Amino acid sequence: MSTLALGQKDRLGRVMIEPDGPSLYTQAYHSWTEIPNSICQAIFNNFKTMCTWESRYNLVIGTTFEK
């Protein structure tokens, strides 16, 4: 198996990533709904630092993220 650089895609089109800093998860959860709201908000806030969208989509994207 060849080593991919960060951001490169493998033969299935998946992007190579790696952890960047400490994890927001303190334990394993069986479903998204089991994760405490404070952790969900922290994950979404982190997501917002890496992605952007027009402000008119704030509600749709926030709602979709929480599903």
User: For 21, how many CA atoms within 13 A lie in the half-sphere containing its CB?
Assistant: 3
For residues 12 and 39, what is the distance between their CA atoms, to the nearest angstrom?
A: 31
Query: Residues 29, 43: contact at Cβ < 8 Å?
Result: no
Q: Is the predicted pLDDT of residue 51 greater than 80, yes or no?
A: yes
10-37 residue pLDDT tens: 888 888 887 777 776 778 888 888 888 8
20-35 b/e (C-beta count within 10 Å ≥ 16 → b): eeeeeeeeeeeeeeeb
pTM, two decimals, is: 0.57
For residues 3 and 13, what is the distance between their CA atoms, to the nearest angstrom?
A: 15
In this prediction, residue 49 carries a pLDDT of 86
1-10 residue pLDDT tens: 568 888 888 8
pLDDT band at 56 (very low <50, low <70, confident <90, very high): very high
